[in-house]
Amino acid sequence: IVLAGTSAAFHASAAKPLVIGFSQVGAESEWRTANTVSIKDAAKKAGVNLKFADAQQRQENQVKAIRSFIAQRVDVIAFSPVVESGWDTVLREAKAAKIPVILTDRDVNVTDKSLYVTLIGSDFVEEGRRAGRWLVEHAKKNPGKVLNIVELQGTVGSAPAIDRKAGFEEVTKGNAQLKMLRTQTGEFTRAKGKEVMEAFLKAHGKNINVLYAHNDDMAIGAIQAIEEAGLKPGKDIVIVSIDGVKGAFEAMMQGKLNVTVECSPLLGPQLMQAAADVVAGKPVPKRIVTQEGVFPAEVAAKEFPNRKY
Ligand code: AHR
């Protein structure tokens, strides 16, 4: 997709700046902060009038924000849904008001796909598979050894939590070396990741060989819990996580995290371009997938200077 560049994006019919109402999930992680910065910066560069609303992790706040954007008659509504389900009614209201809706980052579970124009973001199932594949290869280095896994899931009911779990299971299920001991939500936050890891350690102690965290923030919280329990993160417990934020690269350089699967939050330029295209009546693909990589600890120091978030 071509980026909007520095020229202002104007509403095709009225030569007025494009107005986008954006409802953000919250500020739960390093990833989310970078995503918000990307969207605000891209809006500024494209000359878009951005109405930004922080939902503080609550779906009802997002529904309220979307209704307020409809009342204000913005040109485009965009949002990153906290959870997948429960969007039909409010999206039907946006459709009735003839306001196009763009999803960023996370998917919704609606039967009528015409309720939104496009979804811009990562393939979360593939991210889960990538995490699982790394672990399968790691297990091969210790043939015959059974690795007990604990999993920190993201926000219950959110697309990344559902899909990252599914992708990981798809690749690891049936592997005699990999055994899931416990799985619980850590809500995508450091504090909750630490708290749940403490509980895992209390229950299973040194029997835990692997932590699979659905995001880097929970992994970083868990690292603290592991150290406080007198164990070595990255060695006594192998840690696989997702996002690729700078904090994860720092942890890898300290030998405390083994691999991070990239999930790019830099969706702002693509959102501005898609919004301008939709308003101009140009065709926009139903799905715009972000290109991403996998970064094991061995490449962390070399890659760190290139990281943008
Ligand atoms: O939806 C993307 C996920 O949400 C990121 O992996 C996580 O860090 C964020 O909170």
Q: Which of 23, 25, 37, 262 to mutate to test the pocket of ligand 1 (most atoms within 8 A of CB)?
A: 25
pTM passes above 0.90? yes
Q: Which of 28, 31, 155 to mutate to test the pocket of ligand 1 (most atoms within 8 A of CB)?
A: 31
* 83-111 pLDDT, tens digit each: 999 999 999 999 999 999 999 999 999 99
Whether residue 188 has its Cβ less than 6 Å from ligand 1: yes
Q: What pLDDT is attached to residue 48?
A: 98
- Nearest by Cα to 61 from 37, 29, 27, 92: 27
32 in ligand 1 pocket by Cβ < 6 Å?
A: yes
How big is the CA angle at 11 (ends 9 and 12), to the nearest 5 degrees?
A: 105
Phi and psi of 139, rounded to 5°?
A: -60, -35
State the DSSP string of 241-271: EEE--HHHHHHHHTTS--EEEE-----HHHH
**What was the ipTM of the complex prediction?**
0.99
- At 9 the pLDDT is 58
- Contact yes or no for 129/170 (Cβ under 8 A): yes
* Alpha carbons 181 and 147: distance in angstroms, whole number: 9
Q: How far apart are CA 264 and CA 243, in angstroms?
A: 7
CA–CA distance, 212 with 202 (Å, rounded to integer): 17
* Tens digit of pLDDT at every position of the chain (309 positions): 333 333 445 554 556 899 999 999 999 999 999 999 999 999 999 999 999 999 999 999 999 999 999 999 999 999 999 999 999 999 999 999 999 999 999 999 999 999 999 999 999 999 999 999 999 999 999 999 999 999 999 999 999 999 999 999 999 999 999 999 999 999 999 999 999 999 999 999 999 999 999 999 999 999 999 999 999 999 999 999 999 999 999 999 999 999 999 999 999 999 999 999 999 999 999 999 999 999 999 999 999 999 999
Q: What is the pLDDT of residue 122?
A: 98
